Structure 1
Amino acid sequence: MNTIHDNSPRETVGRSTVARFRMQFQAAAYAALEILSGKGVDRVYCDYHDDFVVRRNVSGAVDYHFFQVKTKGRANQQWNVDEIFSLKKKGKLDTDDRLDAIRQSIAGKLFVHTIEFGEQCREVTVLSNVHFGEDVYEVIDGLTSGASSKKYISQLIEKFAEIISPDAPISAEEVELARKKLSLLPNVQYVGDTLESFSIAAHNAIWKHSEIDLHKHEVDEIANSLVTLVTNKSCAPISNLSKTEMDTVTSVGLDDLLKVLSISTQVYQNLLTGGDPSAIKAASILQRQLKTAGASDSMIEYASQMKVSWDVWVRTARHTFPDFTFNILLDQIDNKCRAWLLGGGVLADLERFVQDVINSPIGAKFSTLNTELVFGAFCASIVRRAAR
């Protein structure tokens, strides 16, 4: 009797479709990591308006970057101009069918965003795991410059407004701006059939944007969680939702990333409000070390508040006490913190080390020092030592 493996399957398209979606989710997850930098990107929409959309918010000015993710099965394959633009190199663009074919192409659908969203459309990009043919770049160069020596490209430039906005006239300025917004992101290495390449890229991106250092098992777990997060955001129902609910359901924001990184949002907010320029990194270090020491979530949140209190106290004390005396105190705190960590870093032992600082000759010179402040100083030392 034949087993199921002896006969070739009639249908395998589902497997390739799932693989393509997985790579789309990896691309969106990687883009979302830029949120950690705090430099503009604040949200990534998943399979909403396009494969994914990166939102930037700088001083209240919002714009969007739309991405189409297109992949091929073999690394030596390339995308050609017909696949990207549905553009033929011979013949005229003189029928509605030919114009509509371009409008429905990969690039054509992206260009529609440039009209629908106007100035808020920052850029539109085709992202792929393989390269694009030279003819694709020639078309983009022609669209950007507004001229080309090749007839099929010059026809596209001439018919551009009619293609992307067939039902409403658009100004020459709008046309020119729209033509220049298409870009390509070829040979992307962080999308693939497995999570291996994505995990490596995610590790590097997390370090780049937040300087959080991770062990391999942590990276693998985070990479899997990131892709799962984007998958869930891409598949969630969106009917009858408010704008706020839509953001929560369809997009990845900082709160989502903090959960994936096992960082308390409140701890991060405490440090950020306290003026810590590396709040994500500090929150990660503090939370991981204190969790290892046996601290509860409430204690870790309290620790972040005390670190902020210490940082505020330091800014005043630096101008109140002699530099020599003040630096001796900092050295004393660092030495005690190191001794606590080398002794096992157990939370139950921490109060004794804190009191040693307060009761030391150098501690006695600072009348405003108390248990809470020195505990905050230890927290600051933990972060400083791990960040070296």
Structure 2
Amino acid sequence: MMHEQLDLANVKPSETGGPRASNRLDFQKNWTLCHLVERHKEGADYVVVCDYHDDVVVLIGVPSAAKLHFYQVKTRDGSHWTMARLTSSKKKRKKKGKASAETAKLADDVVDTSTADEEEGGSILGKLYKHKLGFLDRLGSLNLVSNCCFKLSLSDGTSSESKPHFTFVELDVDEKKAAAERVQAEHNLTEQAEFPEATHFIVSDMTTTGHDKSAIGVIATYLEYRYGTSESFPVAAIHRSLFDEIRRRSNREGTWDDLDLLLKQKGVSRSDFEKLLSKVHPRRDAESQWLELSKELESAGISIRRRIRISNSWHRYRVDRIDESNEILQRRRDAVVAVIEKMIADGIEDVSTVLSEVSVKIPADQAFDPEYTCAMALYEFCNIEDPVVQKTHSQPPEEAP
């Protein structure tokens, strides 16, 4: 077997039940969203794959040659993680119809977000180690992320309880030996398991009750960094759109033989994220645009009452257009943009002609009243040629804790 040629599509995941569980913890998706923002800020090409082989897999660089970084994201209420908990296997569970909406337990109060109809599963560290067995030279790192601290002995004689991030090599001899022997037995290896140096233990600062606010805060901070302004953005709408995109990718079932198709179905790439961010404009810009347009509409003889209705729709559409999951609106937007692009190519750029042309070619219907359609046309007319502000910084891919 040519291990250097293996990719996510060549190797089929041992479990496909994860995407079928509608009760996957939102904590995991919000952590994935924040990690996506972090990757985007770094500047290198990436694809974040949701619920395939593991909770999250990150490919950095050209997908066909990229190193694979695997992440398990676990929540836990109660006492800290110990080596015994990290290396304990799940009990075999019988298939339960609607009971799949319940969370199962790994050990004590560990929340297991896998589906309820899985057969006997491996331990947390055992599942991570399986990626080393399956991918060898393609492996970038193994990562265990949790809201709860780890209580493991370190080689310097201290405990890891107060450390938000450490690696397997920092563990003391006894902890390493316990992990290696238990994983060896779990996988029936002839030799003791050897964990990669890039095996990371990460404590997230997200809480199980405040992960939405944490993710929204990360997005707001990034937008300020990206646009260099403290002006307000529709951050909640951006969060909802990204969260829904991750959920859709996570919930897609099946396996794929083609890597490109797999990444399209299960992954969020730099270009996917950039597409959404390119729609975002500071509120100040939108207000300035509307003030100018309002003068044009008044000059065109549009009554003040109708201008107010169009104004309300303008500001609503500014937020609505970000939501990629709203397929009806996105199809409508594509149609409006196509009409406007043709008009601009023909040298037609006055507001009244834009409105009349769009109204004729894309008439109002039950979903979109005339004022909302006008607002769509005006907003896209103002922003269709806006350059993307994102500045990327070329830097080599790096192993990702």
Q: TM-score, normalised by structure 1?
A: 0.52
Partners of 1:300 and 1:135 in 2: how far apart? 64
Partners of 2:63 and 2:260 in 1: how far apart? 19
- 1:166 paired with 2:188, answer yes
- 1:201 paired with 2:218, answer yes
Q: Which amino acid aligns with 2:30?
A: Q
Per-residue CA deviation, residues 158-210 of structure 1 (Å, 9 max, x unaligned), is x378347536779xxxx65x3422211114227645522210122224444x3
- 1:247 paired with 2:263, answer yes
Are residues 141 and 153 of structure 1, via their aligned partners in 2, closer, same or farther at CA, if it must alter by over 3 Å? farther
Contact preservation (8 Å) 1:142, 1:154: no
Deviation of the 1:257 alpha carbon? 1.5
2:32 corresponding residue in structure 1: 28
1:228 to 244, 247, 256: 244
- 1:144 paired with 2:146, answer no
Contact preservation (8 Å) 2:44, 2:60: yes
Are residues 146 and 184 of structure 1, via their aligned partners in 2, closer, same or farther at CA, if it must alter by over 3 Å? closer
2:132 to 110, 114, 131: 114
1:48 to 49, 52, 56: 52
Per-residue CA deviation, residues 54-113 of structure 1 (Å, 9 max, x unaligned), is 110169841111111111246xx42222222239xxxxxxxxxxxxxxx92111211111
Are residues 85 and 119 of structure 1, via their aligned partners in 2, closer, same or farther at CA, if it must alter by over 3 Å? same
- 1:219 paired with 2:219, answer no
Q: Secondary structure at the match of 1:45?
A: strand
Are residues 347 and 204 of structure 1, via their aligned partners in 2, closer, same or farther at CA, if it must alter by over 3 Å? farther
User: How many pairs are equivalent?
Assistant: 254
2:66 corresponding residue in structure 1: 62
Identity rate, percent: 19
Are residues 243 and 217 of structure 1, via their aligned partners in 2, closer, same or farther at CA, if it must alter by over 3 Å? same
Partners of 1:168 and 1:291 in 2: how far apart? 69
Q: Which runs of 5+ in 2 are unaligned?
A: 1-20, 90-120, 294-335, 352-384, 391-401
1:71 corresponding residue in structure 2: 75
Contact preservation (8 Å) 2:126, 2:183: no
Are residues 134 and 154 of structure 1, via their aligned partners in 2, closer, same or farther at CA, if it must alter by over 3 Å? closer
Provide the aligned C-alpha RMSD in A. 4.7
Q: Which runs of 5+ in 1 are unaligned?
A: 1-16, 88-102, 264-282, 306-345, 349-377
Partners of 2:281 and 2:137 in 1: how far apart? 37
Larger radius of gyration: 1
Q: Secondary structure at the match of 2:27?
A: helix
2:151 to 105, 108, 133: 133
Q: Which amino acid aligns with 1:27?
A: W
Partners of 1:133 and 1:297 in 2: how far apart? 56
Are residues 241 and 169 of structure 1, via their aligned partners in 2, closer, same or farther at CA, if it must alter by over 3 Å? same
Per-residue CA deviation, residues 233-263 of structure 1 (Å, 9 max, x unaligned), is 0001334563222111101112321343353
Per-residue CA deviation, residues 212-246 of structure 1 (Å, 9 max, x unaligned), is 65755511101111111100000013345632221
2:82 to 80, 83, 100: 80
Q: TM-score, normalised by structure 2?
A: 0.50
Greater displacement, 124-133 / 18-27: 18-27
Query: Which structure has more RCO (C-alpha within 8 Å, separation ≥ 6)?
Result: 2
- 1:185 paired with 2:179, answer no
2:273 corresponding residue in structure 1: 257
Deviation of the 1:383 alpha carbon? 7.1
